[in-house]
Amino acid sequence: MTSASSGTALSRTLKLGTRRSPLALAQAEETRTRLCAAHGWSETSVELVPVTASGDRIQDRPLAEIGGKALWTKELDAWLLSGEIDFAVHSAKDVETIRPEGIAFAAMLPRADVRDVLVGAASIQALPQGARIGTSAPRRAAQLLHARPDCSVVPFRGNVATRLAKLAAGEADATLLAAAGLERLGQSGTGHPLAADVWLPAPAQGAIAIECRTGDAETRALLAAIDHAPTRAAVMAERALLAALGGNCHSPIAVLTRAEDADLVLRAALFSPDGAERIEGTLRFAADDAAGPARLAADLLARAVPAIRVHFAGP
């Protein structure tokens, strides 16, 4: 983390944009707490400005059918670019790969648990024959069907409470949630975490991204105090891999990053949506080697069968 600028004077209240969901608000609170602690401010120095995102309003269809990840960001992007807010907080995995030119990642908070949690059974192997799994994530669906082709997938959208209520109502036999989200909501005892080296996470899962206007040097400098360099390196490598693959909301991709000395080890798997096909690759490269993720992407795409390759645009 960059050194804190304790006691930094602030001439105005900073406005932090966030979605209204309980998890988004918890992430915004964490961001405010860290920023105020870094600079020795009262928490009243940062005002939370909530917005109801399109992705929260429209919950009866899969995200990929109604506009993709932009449904989580477009309202906050508009507020940021118009100056209504000074910075915005997002789950990094929900931020689309190509961002507006006037918006920059100013900080990444320390990454939390990257694992998925299975709710409804002790393990993937323990799911009953023919179990129905509630998820709308292509990665989770494909990974589940690859491991358990006897199971079926039921579309599940909504926040954590909504999905747990659907499960309790019997709409599915089990569901998958992010461990980091449960932890931030104080529900870390829910379900059974899946080993990340067996059940690979989503790109950028567990990380909180903070964005501001590219040209706002003052806010960027203030946010630098809470930027966690190891998290930034890993998340940007995973986002670069996504970009090089040409992946989108329909593309089932899972990735796990490890830091080893000054290097990153990126392990990724691509699937066909039905889980029947899977290709995996691993690459170690220097953390500052911006071309490393693209080399892994090229290797994966070169070996991918058509049923996988068709879901990635490539270079």
Report yes or no: 82 and 162 within 8 Å, Cβ to Cβ: no
Give the other-Cβ count within 10 Å of 200's Cβ.
23
Whether residue 150 lies in the annotated active site: no
β-pair partners for 280? 269
Write the secondary structure of 57-85 as one string of H (helix), E (strand) and C (coil). HCCCCCHHHCCCCHHHHHHHHHHHHHCCC
Give me the catalytic one of 86, 94, 116, 173. 94
Instruction: Give me the amino acid identity at 50.
Output: P
CB burial of residue 306 (10 Å; 0-12, 13-18, 19+): exposed
Q: Enumerate residues 6+ apart whose C-beta is below 8 A from 106.
A: 87, 210, 211, 212, 219, 220, 223, 224, 227
Question: What contacts 36, CB < 8 A, 6 or more positions away?
Answer: 42, 43, 45, 46
**What residues act catalytically?**
94
